[in-house]
Structure 1
Amino acid sequence: MELPKDPMMLFSVINMKLRDCYSSLDELCEDMGVSKEHIISQLKAVGFEYSAEHNKFW
């Protein structure tokens, strides 16, 4: 699956996958073959930060 380019859509897709399929962002990135740093930087640019404790961006 290709991740959306739009940051709000990316936020929604990543949080849905974290909630439904993965116990951590590391696990999601490894399984999907995507860069954790890239996802974090894209979402940070629009005001979201990852919480490992809650396993979601907010």
Structure 2
Amino acid sequence: MFNTKDPYLLLSIVNMKLRDEASSLEDLCKTYNQKQEEVEERLSKVGYKYNSTLNQFVAE
């Protein structure tokens, strides 16, 4: 699921999962066996950063 080539599709999926299923990015990554740093890096390349207060990726 997180291996999509389109970073904007990844952004949509991750934010939806954060909203509906996970209490944090760390929790989401553990649930789906993903490296948090890799998810953050891929989304930072298109101008998004994780905001722990909002529990969402937001535009920088």
Q: Identity percentage over the alignment?
A: 40
The aligned counterpart of 1:31 is 31
TM-score by length of 1: 0.94
RMSD across aligned C-alpha pairs, in angstroms?
0.6
Unpaired runs of 5+ residues, structure 1, are none
Can you list the C-alpha shifts for 1:5-56, whole angstroms capped at 9, x where unaligned?
A: 2100000000000000001000000010001000000000000000000000
Q: Counterpart in 2 of 1:7?
A: 7
TM-score by length of 2: 0.91
Q: Counterpart in 2 of 1:21?
A: 21
| Residue correspondences, number | 57
Structure 2: gaps (5+ residues): none
Query: Larger % of strand: which?
Result: 2
